[in-house]
Structure formats: C-alpha cells, structure tokens
C-alpha cells in the first residue's frame, strides 16, 4: 500500500514537456487546466524551447530548475519516461503523474517498455499515478492536474463549502471518470476529488479509496472499476468506510463475454469473476450501480443528507400526478408512506385547498404554492415522529422559483436530522439547482432515482447496524489433515458430523451380496451410489440409481452402474432413500481475487440451468447468513414467515455459519467443496446431505 | 367512442374570456401560446372589456361573433360553463377545451356542478376535452391550445419533417404530460401531439389513442394513466397499434396504497386492479415504463429507427471503458454482440491503432476518431450480415463535433434498414443532439437506457410476429347451465372432464361407514375433504385431512372435520392421495375493467405469501399461454428445456388455453374459479386437480 499523503495537494508542480498549445496537445491542456483551475502553488514548466509558458517562467531541463517540485506531470512519449524518472529522483521529486500511453495496454510489442518503467519506478522510488491516466482534479483545493476537457475550467463548479460532505470519483477509465464528474458538477453535487488511475503501475484505485475514507469531508466515493488489482484489501476498507458513514458505489464493468473481449485490449485487465464481486459487494455494503445517473442519484443524497434510521417518508407535491408517481416509486423501493395523523392533516388543511390532499402524499396544489404552501407543509411534516425523510415533488424549470423560500429551506435542512430532497418532473433550471445546493438539498429529475437513493441512505444505516451487531459464533471447524486430494461422499461422513450436518443411514458395499445385506439392514427403498473420487457428478456419469424397492432392483442397478462407469475397484454406498423435500446446493469455491467464497443456491441436477445461486466471502455470522439466503430467489418465499415455513431456517443458518468458518480456517486447502443436494424438511427437522464432493489443493499450492 | 376528426387541427379558435395578461391568467397564457406557437388559423378572443387582444380583434360575446369557430377554448369559472356550452351550440360550434377546475376532482361539494356539465354536454352535443385539462399542443401543425409553461413557445422545438415518425403524448395529468413533452423536445425527439385529458368528461385517453394510431406519421404513443375509463377497448386498439408498428408505452400510476389515497383527491379516479393492468399490458405488447427517461429512451428509438427482426448488435466506441459498459448493459438486456468475422476485423484494423479493439465492441480510440474512424467503422459494420443494430459510444459534450461526418451519417441512417443510435457518456451538447436528430439518429445519455430501448425495438417485432402467428385452437368449452351459485370440488368433476383436466379417483360419503367402504375401494392412503360450498379454503377451516393410512385414521379424521366445521349435512369426498409433484394454482377472476382474467401461479396453501402469480386476458393461444407461464418465476426454470423438464409442459399449455376459452365463453357467468393445487408431474404424465372451487354470478348480474 502506498502512502498518498499530499499526492493530490502538492505545493509545487513541474510539467515535463509543457507546451503553450492549449488546444491540441495534452502538455498544453494540462498547463491551462492548472492555471484556469486556480492552482495556488508554484508551477515549473520544463521545455527547452520556451522561456515562459502561460505566464509561468519555463526551464530548459529539470537540471536547470533550482527548486524541488513536489509533483511532476509527465506527458512525453513512453520511451523517454524511465530516464525522466531518474532525473526527478536526482532532484528529490518522488511523485509523478504519467499521462502517456503506450505501455501494457498496447499488448506484446510494448512489454519491454513496461518492464523498463517498472524497474525505474522501483529504482528511483517514485509514486506514480498512471501511466495512461487522464490525471486528477482536486476540486476542493483547485489542483487541476489533468488534460480532461470534462472539467470545463473556464467555468468551474461551485465548491459547496460548509454544507454537506464531498464526493470522490475514482476511475480506471479517465474518460468515464471525468464524465461522471461533469454530470455531478452539473447537478450541483459537491465533488472533492476526481482521480483517473489508468494502468495502475503505481497508485491503484484501492490506494486512493483507502486514503480518502479517512477524510472527514468525504461522504461518498464513486468508483468505475474494470478490475481491483488488490481486492483482498477491499474487506477492511469497506468496513472502515461503513463505520465512518461513507457510502461506496461501484460500477464494475466486464460482466459479459463481449466486454471481456474489449477489456483485454483496454487497460490490460483480466476481468475478475463477476459472481465473486457480486457476493463481496453485497457482504460489505457496497452499492453496485449500473448507470451513471444511478451513481449520481446516490451520491447526491450521501453528500447532502443526514443518515436516517427509518424508512418512513412524507411527500409534498404541487402536482397530484407527481405525488402518485413518487409514492409508487417509493413503495416499489420498500419505503413506507404513513398516513398522517389527523392533527397534522388539520394543520395542513389551513392552507391546502379542498381539492388538494393532506393524508400523505400531500398535494398542496398550485394555488397554495403561491402562499408558501411548500415550505409551510415541510415545516409541519418535518416535526412528525413517524416521518424519517421528506421529498418535495416540484416543477423547477422556471428561473428563480426558490428565492423567496430559500432562507427557510436552508434553515430547515440545517436544523433537521432528516433527509430532505426535491424531485422535479420538469427539467430543473440551473439557478434552482444551485439554490437548493446552497441549502444542502439534493435535486432529482427521476422519480425512480429519487426513491432508490432514499432507500439507499436508509439501507446504509440498517446495514451498518447489522454489521455492528454481527458476531461470528465460536465453532471449532474440522481439520482436513486426513483427507485426500479428491474425496467421495462416504469419505466425508466424518466431516459432515463435525460440521453438524446429518446424512441418511448408509453402508459401504464392494459386491452385490454386500449391498443386499446392507439394504436389508437399512430397509428398502435405498439408493445405490458409486464412490469414485474421480466422478464429481454422479447423475451425468450413470453412477447413481435411486428408489430401489427390492433385491431384484438392487441387483440390476449394481450391474448397470458397474457397466456405465466401467468400475473395477471403487466401493458402492447403499443409502436409505430420503423423503422428498426442498433441495439446495451448498458449496465452497476458491476465487483467485477474494479467496474462499461460500455458495448457496437452489440445488438438484438442474442447478446449472436454474443458476439461482449466491456467494459470500467468509467467515459470516447469522445475520449475514440470513441475508445470503434471501438472495436466492427460490428460497426467499420460504423465509418470509418462519412459523409457517416449510424449512428449518435456524438449522440452515447454523450450517451456513459453520461451513463459512470451515472455509475460512482452511482457506488454502479447500479447492472445491459441494453438498448437492442438501435436502431441507419442515421446521424442527434436520436437513440431510444427500451427496457431496471435496477437492483439496495439492500441498505445493497450500 | 368519440369522433375526434380535426379536433386537434381546428381551422379557427374562439377563446372564451381571453385576456391580455399573459403572465398570470390561464386565459392570457392560452392567447400567447396560440400566437407564439405560430397558429395559422383564425383566433377570436371573446371578452366584453377589450376590442383587441395580442393583435387579434376581440368580440364582446359569442353572439357578436359573425363566424362559426371550429373549436372553443374555455377558461372561465366552472359555474358559467354549462351556459357557455349552450351559446356555443347556438352558433354551431361543437368542440371545446375546458381548462377550468372545480368539478369532480373537488369532491362532494361540486357534484351538482358536475351533473350540470354532463347534462349540457349531452344536450348541446359538444365534444369536450377536460374539464381540469391543461389543453393540447399539436406540435406538428403549430396549434398550442394550452396554458402549460412547459411548451416554451418562445423557442419552439424543431419539427423533424421527413425523417422518422412522431411521438404522441397523452396524459391524465397535464403537468406530467407537458413535462414529458419538455424533456422529449430537449432530447430532440420528434413530438407530434401532446394532449392533457383532465377529468375526461368527454374525450378519454383511449379516444385519443384510438385516433392517433391511424396516423401514418405516428411511431410511438406515450401515456400517463391513472385509470383507463373504458379499458375494454384497449385490446382492439393495442392490436391495431402493433399491426401498424406503433409502440404504446404506458406509465400506469396508483400501484401503492399511498398513491391510492392521493388519487381519490386528484382526478376522481378509482385506481384499477394493478395485476389486471399488468396482465393486459403484457398480453398486448404494451411497454410499461416506470420513469420519464425510460419512456423517452423508448420513444427515441421508435420515432427514429427502423424496426429490426434481430437482436445482434455491433458497438463502436471512442472509449474502451464506454465500450465495456455498453456491452455489459446490452448483455443484461439479452442483446447479442457477435464477435466480428476476421475479414471485417481486418478492414477495421486499417484505421484502428494496435491498442484499439476490432472484435466487437470496436474501440476505435481517440486517435482514429480524428481520421473519420467512427463513420468508417459504421459504414463497414452496417454491411455485416450478423449485425442487426449499431450503437456508437461517444463523448458529445463539445460543440459541433459531428459537422464533418453528418452527411455520411445521414446517408447511412437513411439507407440502412438497421437501427443506429449514439450513446454519450458526457452530457450531450444541444448542437450535436440536433445534428444527430437531423440524421434520424437518436442520442442516449444512459448506457442502460440505450440498451433497454434497443431491446424494446427488437422485442416489439418479435411480439408482433408471435401475435400474427397466434391461433386460438377450436375447443367447445363447457356450459355452466347446470351449476349452482357456489360449487364444491365434487360438483366440478364433470366440468374437469370437459376441460380435459384429470382428477384423482374419488367417491362421495355421508357417513363414516360410507367413507370406510369408499377408502377400501380406492385403496389407502386417502384424503378426506368436506364438500361444503360455503368453504372456499378447506385448509384454513379444518375441512381437509390428508394421507390417512388406515381405517383408524379415517374414523378420527371424519370426526375432526365434523367437529371443526360443525358440519351437519354436507357430504365428504374420499380421494386417492396423489403422489408428490409441483403444485400450481389456476384460476379465473372477473376484473371490473377487463372482464375475465386467467390466473396462473405457484400453488399450495402458501399462495398468498409467495404471490408468484400472473394474469392474462382471455382467450389465449398456445404461444401466449407459454409466455404467461414464463412470467411465473417459480415455473420459469422448469420451462427452459422441455426435454429435461420435470413437468408436462404441452399438457399444461393445453389446459391454460382451454381454461381461457372457458372463461371467455362464460364471461358473464363465472365470478371466481380456482383449481389449487393443480399438481404437475413429469413429462407424459397427466396433471391432477386436487382441489377446486367455482362461484357464479347471480342471474341478475349475468
């Protein structure tokens, strides 16, 4: 992990190859961005052909410079960079942004150059951002170290000091990162810092994230990620962000096959396993977004609004239709609109005409808008105990609509500990956006986006509480010392016992006669299963026959399986047939990025077709186990009412927690572990593992 | 149904109560809208206090007018309107827009006024739009008969003549309708007509829809609806729209309890059953939207793009990250990105540098953009046989970016029969939006929105094909002549036979001894069920006992049920126990708006908790039945591979089709019919109806 202290707020900056051509050249655009962005430190342009650039004294070379720049910005061709890093080290500068492309992202041809760059970084101990980065923009401190046209430095965004917290944008694609910035600034969202990390030969996205979550001014971090280079750190970072009330929002690209084709040629990323990311984001309270506007809807509330512990919303609207639309969207987002108490409704009726509504949503009507109906309604509703957040539906397209009520709005938003937001059904005018921004009130132009953002701020707090209360129960997980590389169902009997998972009565048989004796002891009907460690999926290989009712059936099945599998030495398992129930799959898989993951899903032979599965990093406690079960859509209806449920929920949760701890304590040993099916029965009844499979890492790997 | 011929394109317009105050008064704002909107017909302001208003000669009263206005716009207080309608009729004007509020939406107090209005409308045979309407804006013919500030008539939108088709917006909320218009115009979508229908005492939303789908210039209709007043017409209208290639998009408000509270005070609507609407929209190919931008994303493609039969997309991008993002969004929307053939990739490589990608998505890189890389790539890809649609990922925030390639783009879009769209990750500049609009190319600023819109245009065609190929099989449904008002399971045996639905072997018994005799004939285990027509849900009433293994069990159960239900006269059904299987529920319910609806869902006693159900209007054919099954999430995985399925799909489809026809041919007689559970077994095996209930309408209702 790199120490980024002051990287984004340098005292002085050298621009290597600086140019006065601010239109075409990256080296010129960086100069104008620094100047127009209002950078307050010293700027040292380095260029042998100029004595002055944009009013800054220029130097022929780094050698000529009689000062030690705090940060260097480099936009020369890739091949020259290793030498420049040496020159920087010589004068004591150990931080640099490299805009230049032509390294890992180009493919085979540039591998040599890439190695040279890495060697120079290591040799000269330089912390770099890039290469192939669009730079960074420290909006809060006016350091525009970027050539992005998106920052529009001629007309910089308002820095919303003193109200709310800041958004930090971190992106592995510079174009997308600065486009998110542009959209955020336009919406009046208070952006503190934008960083494009490029090829990440030095600073990674997680380095920046790790640093900014310590900043008290930060309320939200939005990331565009193709691959986390060091994902094992994510757990710790995400937990800390949660504790500090900072929401992390991630767009993780590269889910589809086609996007993987593109990623290889893009930032030299190998795109990680999406199910693993999904599971990790869910476990850590990271919001996964799919669109830019969705990201910014969340960023708007997390940078402006106080957190809330409740999900009850009061809605004030000038339009009956708008009120209904937002009420529907809030209900879809599982927010609750309590019907207001008679006393509150009576107070509202003082200025709401008869054809308006006072119950919630409140339709103040256009008539009452003119007599301060909006702010009067808000001032009344904000006091209601059964209201946790407030939304105003308005039309904000005409200019200067809020000038009159602005002082009261500002006062209300500052004093209230409840989120207050505006949602405009017309396109909001820039002036109104700005006035609401001054009040610390975010504005939405989408009903659905508004409802989802309010849900997210409630969910953030709920997740934090759950996380704070979560205990990992003490459980001594089994050791795997005596296991082979691959293991059959019968080999696992002892393991199941230690994991407190029940199995049907069963016996091992090597011959038909042994099988018949076993079946007589167990009682018909029985299942017959070959125990060959090389056969992971018995059904597909013809290594299993079920519901054998008598000796004749058993003899025929013994022969069938022997023929199907050409079996010579492996024994058979004769097992009591389990009653019908609900089949699920439990598993442990090892992900290259995140280590062992616990898997749970709808089970049976069609698990690959149904694909109703969910993952979680390990270990987990009971609350997280329950959440994980809720993410399996086939299980969800069975979890709604535990008293009526068809399954034994508490035992299942315990099994998940134990299995997760087992996975955690054998994280280098288990390659693959699967119980499929684990058959679930009614409440109070023990689940039965009907088939299983364990593959361990070779000792070399362990 | 009203004849709306020329209603929205009148030759002359009288404005009753016209005022020169264009700021505050509705009567003045209508005048300025007409004038500034460029209305070409004659305008007759009616106001005793003025001789001229905004340059139009004013008249003291309608009597003074020596002409017959084609349309009257009325913005006087509600109480005066019945008289004015009489005056209009006297001079031969039979069309009017009523802006005035104060009728049904106010509640009890205004009922009398409402009745007077209705009486006047009938007496004087006047077709009215409103009351409580914001009016209409015929954009295509410059008739701005509205007081909405949303139309911004000082700067009217470009009417995109000759390219593409038009969007019509119909809204029961004027504010929302014109806000959709404002957003559409800003995006450069070609809007033809906006209509606010208000309280719908005359023209309804469906009247307008019915009319505009006959217009060859219309490609898409967007509706904001709280309730269809005459929904039985929707089936015919939607089918016609589909045949004419017009996409209907509906936002149907009032799903949540809270929104229903608001609706009562809003437009005097009783909000319809949402499940019914959902089923009807699905059956008729109507797209249900949840947000304004979602509506407009669809409207953008349906007004600009040719329809397409395929779902294979080619993506060209200037940003690698943007390419991946859109590729992911397209994959999520089930669009396919074929990897381009080597020949095409070779041709692209001529101008795409080594660090760009050519496989699909194509990352042309910023470098190649400057050498016409974008348009060159499009011209090559559009010819590929395995590409049905094209999307360009771009940054369109700088001005005049497309001037150079515009002629080639226009040519490409006009000649190609494939949808071509742009998706900008930065906020698109108005000039670029306009240039692309001139080419007939829609612009998106959301990756997800872009992908969903392209999916919709593909889906529209697929749905149309399915609909064209759908045949309702010939089947003579049973008559209900001999049934009582409520019917028990046993009463229904004959009905099941005619519907070709099997039932387990069963016999009727009035006494314990009769039950024992029956069970001996049937064979244990048996189920025992009381046949009381007043008990619809046997489990909840203790009127059913299952899996009775012997005579002792049967005797005890007989007594239990008799005690539970205080039964005196009703007989018992002794029924063979069915093997375990998958339980579904089938039903017919009569919706007040749409008539009989077929219901299918996951069955059993927990059907109300699980709520995994879907509805369809009747009758249906096999293709629609299959689609209906796919909408039940618990069934979906079982339908994916019919050869491996655990259920007999073909029999189930046949049962649905028969049941739908049964519902259709008894649409006035059946009040409620339910089979729960219908138990499904493997392929080739007949499903069994294990319980059922029928309630018929009283003869008065029929």
pLDDT in tens, A48-79: 999 999 999 999 999 999 899 999 999 898 89
CA–CA separation, A493 and A475 (whole Å): 19
Residue B227 shares a structural domain with residue B315: no
State the CATH number of the domain containing residue B552: 3.30.1490.20
B290/A332 CB distance under 8 A: yes
Task: State the distance between the two ends of chain A, measured CA to CA, in whole angstroms.
Answer: 25
- Most confident by average pLDDT, A641-645, B257-261, B485-489, B518-522: B518-522
Instruction: Tell which of A78, A395, A426 to mutate to test the B interface (max B CBs under 10 Å).
Output: A426
Q: What is the mean pLDDT of residues A666-674?
A: 86
Alpha-carbon gap: B646 to the closest alpha carbon of chain A (Å): 10
What percent of chain A is predicted at pLDDT more than 90?
61
Q: Are B197 and B129 in contact (CB under 8 A)?
A: yes
Chain B contact set for A427 (CB, 8 A) = 182-183, 186
CA distances from B240 to B2, B246, B467 (A): 18, 9, 11
Q: What is the average per-residue pLDDT within A287-292? A: 96
In a domain, B55, yes or no: yes
Our measurement of the distance from residue B138's CA atom to the centroid of its chain's CA atoms, rounded to an integer in Å, reads: 24
Domain-located, residue B480: no
Residue B475 belongs to some domain of the structure: no
The answer to whether residue A599 is domain-embedded is: yes
A269 token code pair: 């990323």
Position with higher pLDDT, B246 vs A543: B246
Tens-digit pLDDT profile for residues B458-494 = 999 999 988 888 887 777 777 777 777 777 888 888 8
Residue among B320, B354, B446 minimizing CB distance to A109: B354
Q: Under a CB-based contact definition with an 8 Å cutoff, are residues A18 and A46 in contact?
A: yes
Q: Are residues B605 and B632 in the same domain?
A: yes
**Which value, to the nearest 10 degrees, does the dihedral of the CA atoms of residues A165, A170, A173, A179 take?**
10
Return d(Cα A554, Cα A504) in angstroms, integer: 18
Q: Is the pLDDT of residue A7 over 60?
A: yes
B328: chain A residues, CB-CB within 8 Å: 253-256, 259
Residue A486, judged by CB atoms within 10 A of its CB (0-12, 13-18, 19+), counts as middle
* Cross-chain Cβ contact A261/B323 below 8 Å: no
Q: How confident is the model at residue B202 (pLDDT cuts 50, 70, 90)?
A: very high
Count the neighbouring beta carbons within 10 Å of the beta carbon of residue A494.
12
A99-113, A275-289, B24-38, B289-303: segment of lowest average pLDDT: A99-113
Domain of A11 in residue numbering reads as 1-131
CA quadruple A430, A435, A440, A442: dihedral, nearest 10: -30
From A183, A328, A637, residue closest to B253, measured CB to CB: A328
**Does B366 score more than 90 pLDDT?**
no
Across the interface, of A226, A324, A610, the residue whose CB is closest to B259 is A324
Task: Answer yes or no: is B137 within a domain.
Answer: no
- The ipTM (two decimal places) reads 0.88
pLDDT band, very low/low/confident/very high, at A579 (cuts 50, 70, 90): confident
Give me the number of domains chain A comprises.
Answer: 5
**B355:A328 CB<8 A:** no
B690 and B638, same domain (yes or no): yes
Give the domain CATH number at B97.
3.40.50.720
- B344 and B443 part of one domain: yes
pLDDT of the residue at A103: 74
Residues B328 and B425 in one domain: yes
Q: Which helix (H) or strand (E) holds A166?
A: strand A166-171
Whether B379 and B236 map to the same domain: the answer is no
Q: Which pLDDT score is estimated for A4? A: 87
What contacts A99, CB < 8 A, 6 or more positions away? A26, A30, A73, A74, A75, A130, A131, A132, A133, A134, A135, A147
Same domain? For A81 and A124 the reply is yes
Mutate to test the interface with A, among B77, B147, B293, B324 (most CBs of A within 10 A): B324
| A262 to B329: CB separation less than 8 angstroms, yes or no | no
CB contact under 8 Å between A397 and B149, yes or no, is: yes
Mean pLDDT confidence for B179-201: 93
Phi-psi region at A678: left, alpha or beta (left = phi > 0; alpha = psi -120 to 50) = beta
Give the angle B367-B371-B375 at the CA atoms, nearest 5°: 110
B388: closest CA among B444, B307, B331?
A: B307
Task: Give the nearest partner residue to B328 out of A255, A322, A646, using CB atoms.
Answer: A255
pLDDT at A691: 86
Q: Which of A114, A325, A540 to mutate to test the interface with B (most CBs of B within 10 A)?
A: A325
Domain of B661, CATH number, reads 3.30.470.20
Tokens of A147: 């050539």
Listed residue (A124, A34, A123) closest to A75, CA to CA:
A34
* DSSP classification of residue A156: P
> Are residues A262 and B363, on separate chains, in Cβ contact within 8 Å?
yes
**Structure confidence at residue A266 (pLDDT):** 39
Q: Do the chains contact at A256 and B321, CB–CB below 8 Å?
A: no
On the CB side of A580, CA atoms within 13 Å amount to 4
Shortest CA distance from B604: residue in chain A = A646
Closest-CA residue of chain B to A317? B262
Q: How far apart are CA A88 and CA A597, in angstroms?
A: 44
Q: What letter does residue B491 receive in the DSSP assignment?
A: G
Sheet holding A420-424, edge to edge: A362-363, A313-317, A389-394, A420-424, A443-444
State the Cα–Cα distance between residues B94 and A436, nearest whole angstrom: 47
Confidence bin at A267 (pLDDT 50/70/90): very low
Chain B partners within 8 Å of A291 (Cβ) = 329, 446-449
Q: What is the CATH number of the domain that holds A431?
A: 3.40.50.261
| Confidence category of residue A701, pLDDT binned at 50, 70, 90 | very low
The pLDDT, as a whole number, for residue B702 is: 35
pLDDT attached to residue B396: 93
Interface A-B, measured as beta-carbon pairs within 8 A, has a size of 261
Q: Which of A327, A354, A637 sits opposite B258 (nearest CB)?
A: A327
* Cβ pair A259:B361 closer than 8 A: yes
Query: Does B645 map to a domain?
Result: yes
Boundary-marking domain end, from A131, A166, A200? A131
Instruction: Give the mean model confidence (pLDDT) for residues A180-197.
Output: 93
The reply to whether B298 and B399 lie within a common domain is: no
Give the gap in angstroms from C-alpha A179 to the nearest C-alpha of chain B.
Answer: 5
Chain B residue whose CA is closest to A290: B448
Q: How far is B642 from chain A (nearest CA, A)?
A: 12
Interface touch B183/A427, C-beta < 8 Å:
yes
Task: Report the percent of chain A where pLDDT is more than 70.
Answer: 93
Tell me, what DSSP letter sits at residue A53? E
pLDDT of residue A268: 33
pLDDT grade for A113, boundaries at 50, 70 and 90: confident
Q: Considering the domain boundaries, does residue B672 fall inside one?
A: yes
Same domain membership, residue B619 and residue B686:
yes
> Which two tokens mark A552?
């004749």
pLDDT tens for residues B226-273? 988 888 889 899 999 999 999 999 999 887 777 666 654 433 333 346
Q: What are the structure tokens assigned to A606, written together?
A: 């069609």
Of the residues B269, B321, B433, the best mutation for testing chain A's interface (the one with the most A CB atoms within 10 Å of its CB) is B321
Q: Give residue-wise pLDDT tens across range B313-338.
A: 999 999 989 999 999 999 999 999 99
Of A102, A175, A321, the CB nearest to B319: A175
Does the beta-carbon distance from B339 to A171 stay under 8 Å?
Answer: no
**Percentage, residues of chain B above pLDDT 70:** 93
For B100-135, write each residue's pLDDT tens digit: 887 766 655 667 888 999 999 999 999 999 999 999
Percent of chain B beyond pLDDT 90?
Answer: 61
Which single residue is written with the structure tokens 């809007």? Answer: B191
- A77 and A48 fall within a common domain: yes
To the nearest whole Å, the CA of A642 is away from the closest chain B CA by: 12
* A136 within a domain of the structure (yes/no): no
Euclidean distance between CA atoms A343 and A390, whole angstroms: 18
Alpha-helix residue ranges (DSSP H) falling in B71-173: 81-90, 111-124
Contact B323 A262 (CB under 8 A): yes
Are residues B449 and B324 part of one domain? yes
Please state, in angstroms and rounded to a whole number, the distance separating the CA atoms of residues B36 and A251: 46
Distance from the A231 Cα atom to the nearest Cα atom in chain B, whole angstroms: 20
Cβ contact, residue pair A258, B331, below 8 Å: yes
pLDDT at A346 over 60: yes
Of B253, B327, B609, the CB nearest to A256: B327
Region of poorest pLDDT, from A123-132, A267-276, A569-578, B647-656: A267-276
- Domain end, chosen from A576, A597, A627, is at A576
DSSP states along A59-116: BSSTTT--S--SEEEE-S-GGGHHHHHHHHHHTT--EEEE----SGGG-GGGHHHHHH
User: pLDDT value at position A270?
Assistant: 33
A328:B255 CB<8 A: yes
Question: Would you state the pLDDT for residue B493?
Answer: 86
pLDDT of residue B667: 85
Among A304, A335, A351, where does a domain finish?
Answer: A304
CA A13/CA A694 separation, integer angstroms: 57
pLDDT (mean) for A572-594: 87
Nearest-Cα residue of chain B relative to residue A252: B325
Q: How many CA atoms lie within 13 A of B120 on its CB side?
A: 25
Q: Say yes or no: B298 and B329 in one domain.
A: no
Among B629, B637, B683, smallest CA distance to A606 is for B637
**Quick one: which H or E segment has residue A539?**
helix A538-541
A361: preceding bond cis by omega (within 30 degrees):
yes
Per-residue DSSP letters for A617-650? ES---HHHHHHHHHTSTTTHHHHS-TTT-SS-HH
Distance CA A300, CA A441 (A): 9
Q: Average pLDDT, stretch A607-612?
A: 71
B357 with A175: Cβ contact below 8 A? no
Mutate to test the interface with A, among B23, B182, B326, B328 (most CBs of A within 10 A): B328
Pick the more confident residue, B97 or A276: B97
Q: In Å, what is the CA distance from B635 to each residue of A19, A218, B303, B668?
A: 65, 46, 36, 30
Minimal CA separation from A513 to chain B, in Å: 32
Token pair for residue A644?
């009526």
Chain B: give the shortest CA distance to residue A634, in Å.
7
């Amino acid at each position: 992990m790199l120490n980024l202290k002051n990287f984004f707020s340098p005292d002085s900056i050298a621009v290597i190859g600086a140019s006065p051509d601010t239109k075409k050249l990256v080296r010129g655009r960086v100069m104008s961005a620094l100047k127009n962005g209002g950078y307050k430190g010293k700027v040292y342009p380095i260029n042998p052909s100029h004595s002055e650039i944009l009013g800054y004294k220029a130097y022929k070379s780094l050698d000529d410079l009689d000062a030690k720049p705090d940060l260097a910005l480099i936009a020369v061709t890739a091949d020259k960079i290793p030498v420049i890093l040496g020159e920087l080290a010589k004068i004591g500068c150990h931080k640099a942004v490299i805009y230049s492309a032509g390294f890992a992202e180009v493919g085979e041809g540039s591998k040599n150059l890439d190695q040279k760059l890495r060697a120079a970084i290591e040799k000269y101990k330089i912390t770099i951002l890039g290469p192939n980065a669009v730079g960074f923009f420290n909006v809060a401190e006016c350091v525009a170290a970027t050539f992005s046209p998106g920052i529009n430095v001629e007309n910089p965004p308002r820095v919303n000091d003193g109200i709310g917290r800041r958004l930090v944008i971190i992106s592995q694609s510079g174009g997308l990162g600065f486009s998110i910035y542009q959209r955020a600034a336009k919406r009046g969202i208070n952006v503190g810092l934008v960083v494009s990390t490029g090829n990440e030969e030095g600073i990674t996205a997680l380095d920046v994230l790790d640093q900014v979550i310590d900043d008290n001014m930060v309320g939200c971090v939005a990331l565009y990620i193709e691959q986390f280079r060091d994902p094992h750190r994510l757990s710790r970072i995400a937990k800390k962000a949660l504790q500090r009330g900072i929401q992390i929002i991630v767009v993780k690209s590269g889910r589809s096959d086609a996007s993987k084709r593109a990623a290889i040629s893009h930032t030299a990323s190998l795109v990680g396993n999406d199910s693993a990311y999904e599971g990790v984001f869910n476990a850590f309270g990271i919001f996964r977004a799919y669109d830019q506007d969705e990201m910014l809807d969340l960023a708007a509330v997390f940078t402006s609004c106080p957190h809330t512990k409740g999900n009850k919303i009061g809605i004030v609207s000038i339009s009956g239709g708008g009120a209904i639309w937002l009420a529907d969207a809030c209900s879809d987002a599982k927010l609750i609109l309590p019907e207001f108490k008679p006393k509150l409704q009576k107070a509202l009726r003082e200025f709401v005409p008869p054809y308006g509504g006072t119950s919630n949503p409140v339709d103040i009507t256009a008539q009452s808008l003119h007599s301060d109906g909006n702010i009067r309604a808000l001032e009344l509703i904000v006091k209601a105990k059964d209201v946790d957040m407030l939304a105003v539906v308005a039309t904000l397209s005409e200019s200067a609509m809020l000038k009159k009520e602005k002082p009261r709005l500002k006062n209300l938003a500052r004093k209230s500990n409840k989120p207050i937001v505006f949602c405009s059904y017309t396109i909001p005018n820039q002036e109104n956006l700005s006035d609401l921004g001054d009040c610390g009130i975010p504005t939405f132009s989408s009903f659905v986006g508004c409802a989802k953002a309010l849900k997210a701020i409630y969910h953030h707090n709920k997740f934090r509480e759950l996380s704070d209360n979560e205990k990992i129960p003490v459980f001594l997980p089994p050791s795997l010392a005596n296991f082979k590389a691959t293991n059959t169902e019968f080999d696992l009997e002892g393991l199941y016992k230690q994991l407190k998972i029940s199995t049907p009565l069963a016996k091992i048989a090597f011959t038909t006669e042994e099988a018949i004796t076993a079946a007589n002891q167990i009682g018909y009907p029985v299942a017959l299963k070959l125990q060959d460690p090389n056969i992971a999926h018995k059904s597909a290989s013809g290594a299993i026959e079920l519901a054998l009712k008598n000796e004749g059936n058993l003899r025929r099945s013994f022969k069938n399986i022997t023929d199907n599998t050409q079996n010579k030495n492996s024994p058979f398992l004769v097992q009591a047939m389990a009653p019908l129930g609900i089949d699920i799959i439990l598993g442990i898989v090892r992900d290259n990025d995140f280590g062992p993951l616990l898997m749970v899903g709808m089970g049976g032979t069609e698990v690959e077709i149904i694909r109703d599965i969910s993952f979680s990093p390990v270990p987990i406690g009971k609350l997280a186990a329950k959440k994980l079960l809720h993410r399996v859509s086939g299980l969800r209806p069975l979890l709604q009412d535990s008293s009526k449920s068809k399954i034994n929920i508490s035992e299942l949760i315990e099994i998940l927690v134990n299995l997760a701890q087992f996975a955690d304590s054998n994280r280098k040993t288990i390659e693959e572990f699967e119980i499929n099916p684990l058959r679930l029965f009614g409440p109070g009844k023990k689940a039965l593992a009907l088939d299983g499979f364990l593959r361990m890492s070779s000792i070399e790997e362990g």
